[in-house]
Amino acid sequence: MQEPTTFNMVSRLKLISNSVIESTLTYKELVPAIEKCLANFSAGKVVQPLRSVVPVEPHNGLLFSMCAHDTSEDVLALKNVALYPDNHKQGLSSHLTQVLYFQPSTGALLAVMDGESITAMRTAAASVVATKYLAKEDSKVLSILGAGVQAYSHAKALTSSFKFDKIFIWNRTQSTGEKFCEEIKHLAKVVKFCPSTKEAVCDADVIVTATFSSTPILHGQDLKESVHINSVGACTPHLRELDDRCMELCAVIADSRVSALAESGDIISAKKEVLCEVGNIINGEVEVNRTRRTLFKSLGIAVEDVTAANLVWEKVGKQQPVGF
């Protein structure tokens, strides 16, 4: 009898596209699931090595490989991200990603999922969780720096969880920023493009930074006394989005302390301490004063992809069970 191998199982593999994932995943289900996985992660219930990053220098690309096993949920997956900021010139997304979803008991590959929507949505869901625990409860003004995929998912996720009266947008390219404002104008009473980051953030209660900038775009001198920042970009040691003053003023909370200290250009360059992981706050181990300046440093961790992929599997993948 022929032994089942990955190759002769291929006909039974589920391929799950972005469009299916977009019509399947909702923030209503994803946010609590991400909250739980961040709590599991900080409670030591997740096996997750630091992701590997291969620079593809001639093409200004990076290939990330991220894997985790959530032991309390028994879910196993691996995500690849090809991060090529110049891809837009060829009409391609800057992040090309796939999630491989495994049967933990055998290691059999059950599904290959498009990773773009999973990445966009799980990152925004993690920021919603951080905002829930760290921002002032009466936050009314949201500011987003950037107008790409993450800016969009954050606008959608944050407004589906909190009520903002005003959203201020800044983007390096004004025309793209204005187009983005038009797309999200239904999300708040006022949605306005601002020509400078100072104008965009000076009244903000909650700020999102989601760009490819390599130099600071958010400056401490422009922040209110009480503000919460979700810092989503600058996920490699040579990139920065926040200046030293901003880092000095804020209490820094990360998704993963290990990832933050190894990967965050802002934390490494400013020699900033990480107060705790957001999971420590969820688990009731640390309390943070919401009326001070707080910064959630999101690097993106594999267990978030594992969690999102598991929701997709439970909702659309399971109908055709895969097994030997």
Ligand X SMILES: O=C([O-])C1=[NH+]CCC1
If one counts every other C-beta atom within 10 angstroms of the C-beta of residue 28, the result is: 9
Q: Does 235 bind ligand X (CB under 6 A)?
A: yes
CB nearer to ligand NAI: pick between 43 and 212: 212
In the window 262-321, what residues touch ligand X (CB under 6 A)? 300
CB nearer to ligand NAI: pick between 151 and 250: 151
Enumerate binding residues for ligand NAI (CB under 6 A): 83, 94-95, 119, 123, 146-151, 171-173, 176, 210-213, 217, 232-233, 235, 298-300
Among all residues, whose Cβ is closest to ligand NAI? Answer: 148
Query: Of the candidates 211, 216, 203, which has an alpha carbon nearest to the alpha carbon of residue 168?
Result: 203
What residues does 170 pair with on adjacent strands?
145
In the window 215-234, what residues touch ligand X (CB under 6 A)? none
Question: Which of ligand X, ligand NAI, none sits in contact with 127, Cβ below 5 to 8 A by type?
Answer: none
Determine the Cα–Cα distance for residues 36 and 246; give it in Å rounded to an integer. Answer: 29
Range list of H helices, the chain = 6-9, 18-24, 27-42, 116-134, 149-161, 174-183, 197-201, 244-249, 257-263, 265-270, 278-282, 302-312
Query: Of the candidates 167, 278, 297, 171, which has an alpha carbon nearest to the alpha carbon of residue 229?
Result: 297
Q: Does 259 bind ligand X (CB under 6 A)?
A: no
Q: Does 81 bind ligand X (CB under 6 A)?
A: yes
> What is the smallest separation between the CB atom of 304 and ligand NAI, expressed in angstroms?
7
If one counts every other C-beta atom within 10 angstroms of the C-beta of residue 198, the result is: 13
CB nearer to ligand X: pick between 222 and 263: 263
Query: Of the candidates 95, 34, 81, 24, which has an alpha carbon nearest to the alpha carbon of residue 53?
Result: 81
- The 8-class DSSP code of residue 88 comes to G
Question: Which of ligand NAI, ligand X, none sits in contact with 210, Cβ below 5 to 8 A by type?
Answer: ligand NAI
**Could you tell me whether strands 206-209 and 228-231 are parallel, antiparallel, or unpaired per DSSP bridges?**
parallel
CB nearer to ligand NAI: pick between 87 and 226: 87
Determine the Cα–Cα distance for residues 313 and 17; give it in Å rounded to an integer. Answer: 12
Using an 8 Å Cβ cutoff, are 281 and 253 in contact?
yes
> What is the smallest separation between the CB atom of 262 and ligand X, expressed in angstroms?
13
CB nearer to ligand NAI: pick between 110 and 235: 235
Question: Which of ligand NAI, ligand X, none sits in contact with 150, Cβ below 5 to 8 A by type?
Answer: ligand NAI
CB nearer to ligand X: pick between 188 and 233: 233
Positions touching ligand X (CB under 6 A) are 64, 81, 83, 95, 119, 235, 300
